[in-house]
Structure 1
Amino acid sequence: MALVGRAEAADCALEPQGEGRVATVVDARSFRLEDGREIRLAGIERAGTDQTRIRAALSAIIGGRDVTLHGEDDTPDRYGRQAAYVFVAGSEHSVQSELLRRGEALVSSDISEKNCAAALAAAETRARQARLGVWAQTAAIKNTESPGDILAAIGQFTVIEGRVLSVRQAGAITYLNFGRNWTQDFAATISRRIIPAFENAGLGPKSLENRRIRVRGVVSSRGGPRIEMLRVEQIEVLGGK
């Protein structure tokens, strides 16, 4: 592996978790090695709905190639897949980073290693600014002023932007409201138990009122469309008040 590739792995604080040769790409985020292990790409989510194109992009990067696996835990998930950050032999960047640079993936919100999260976020930002891949589509980022578009993404990992009009607490849940009709408009929700984490990161809910922010996560429908904020990394402040 090239020096830059080793540096990236070190920045992500990854431990070696094995190696192998890619036998087949299963879908947009997973592949199978010749020894039968199925690997899921950690740290990224599917981008858009054209999974055939994204699968082809992944195949072009890793198809038939020798790869090394890095991660915090090599225990398979309930589907028998090992989550890992993957490096093609001789490559300067992780497979995740390459997909993000091409606009063929979204950064996940559950990356525990901060330097790794920052590196992948930077790759996504470059693709978004260059309007590559999924970012060439005007609907790549949903607008909170169009809640119907967000509802159409129920069950999908989605990136959403808008201005927080109000912050309200109901029981153990705090709502970041992006509209005035709670049964129709989009809201991000934060459980009381994790409010301290947001406050420690300078993202206390009240401080976000009247701020324009970007949120990411899986859309659900509870009244209007919702995304539950489970980690600080799901919120990005885009501008001043």
Structure 2
Amino acid sequence: MSVVASTRPSQAACNFPEQGAGRVTQVIDVRTIRLADGAEIRLAGVEPAPDDISASVALPQLVDRDVTLHGDADSPDRYGRQSAFVFIDAAAPSIQTQLLASGAVLASGTVSERNCAAELAATEAAARGAKRGIWARDGVIKNAAIPGDILAQLGRFVVVEGRVLSVREAGSTTYLNFGRRWTRDFAVTISRRMMPAFSGAGVALKSLERRRVLVRGWVESRGGPRIEARHVGQIEVVGD
């Protein structure tokens, strides 16, 4: 699978201002590359599927290629990595978009810019519909009704689909409950500090009751499996 040979038009929605450039010298892992100047670049907007190596197979093709970095900021994270959208050719989509289109990675749901977030989600959905890459197999999307299957992915990034049974607020946290056994079933937690973001996006959390949703994020254990929604894009309504 190639991630550098696309001739499709540039995906302008994620073409943020340029924040740097360099030559790729190493692929550190499925979402991190190193440039010749020693900078570590984290691929923004995507995450690897659990136990999948598709992206790690594709990314070595970037070694010895010149890239430009685009983003809304160039501040490093706590590990010293710069998060950016990576481009080899301004006339081609970002590496992230190409990876999503080939079914090599998952959209993270953490991009706040709406047009870019929508583009990444749509690209992933197209790959899923065409059963490309990771989507050719079963079980990539976990069933919210089977909490044990989700809990088996503790500490990993997963996508979960299910129907929200209830929305409850307790203290400073709102819970989207997918089962009646609150201490054992799957739930999504949303802290009070995230409420303005959901309101600003026109999402009334209470309106999610009885809706079928896709949730993506890192699995935690608090009795039952939990995913904390720190970004609006982690929750997607897919049906009633």
Q: Same fold (TM over 0.5)?
A: yes
Q: 1:3 to 1:224 in 2, by over 3 A?
A: closer
Which residue of the partner structure matches residue 25 of structure 2? 23
Which residue of the partner structure matches residue 237 of structure 2? 237
Partners of 1:58 and 1:99 within 8 A in 2? no
Partners of 2:162 and 2:178 within 8 A in 1? yes
> Counterparts in 2 of 1:143-222, with a 5 A limit?
143-222=143-222
In 2, distance between residues paired with 1:37 and 1:192?
35
Q: 1:107-137 CA deviation, whole Å, 9 max, x = no partner? A: 1122122111111111111111111122122
Partners of 1:48 and 1:134 within 8 A in 2? no
Which residue of the partner structure matches residue 41 of structure 1? 43
Q: 1:17 to 1:47 in 2, by over 3 A?
A: same
Q: 1:159 to 1:38 in 2, by over 3 A?
A: same
Percent identical pairs in the alignment equals: 57
In 1, distance between residues paired with 2:221 and 2:48?
20
Greater alpha carbon shift after TM alignment, 192-201 vs 214-223: 192-201
**Deviation at residue 64 of structure 1 after TM alignment:** 2.0
In 2, distance between residues paired with 1:239 and 1:188?
18
Between the two structures, name the one with larger relative contact order (CA 8 Å, sep ≥ 6): 2
In 1, distance between residues paired with 2:206 and 2:20?
45
Give the counterpart letter for 1:75 in structure 2: S
In 1, distance between residues paired with 2:129 and 2:122?
11
Provide runs of 4+ in structure 1 moved above 6 Å: none
TM-score (norm 2): 0.90
Partners of 2:110 and 2:232 within 8 A in 1? no
Q: 1:192 to 1:37 in 2, by over 3 A?
A: closer
Greater alpha carbon shift after TM alignment, 179-188 vs 87-96: 87-96
RMSD of aligned residue pairs (Cα, Å): 1.9
> What secondary structure sits across from 1:4 in the alignment?
coil
Partners of 2:188 and 2:227 within 8 A in 1? yes
Structure 1 gaps of 5+ residues are none
Give the length in aligned residue pairs: 234
Give the counterpart letter for 1:33 in structure 2: L
Partners of 2:112 and 2:231 within 8 A in 1? no
Structure 2 gaps of 5+ residues are 1-6
Q: 1:3 to 1:188 in 2, by over 3 A?
A: closer
TM-score (norm 1): 0.90
Partners of 1:12 and 1:114 within 8 A in 2? no
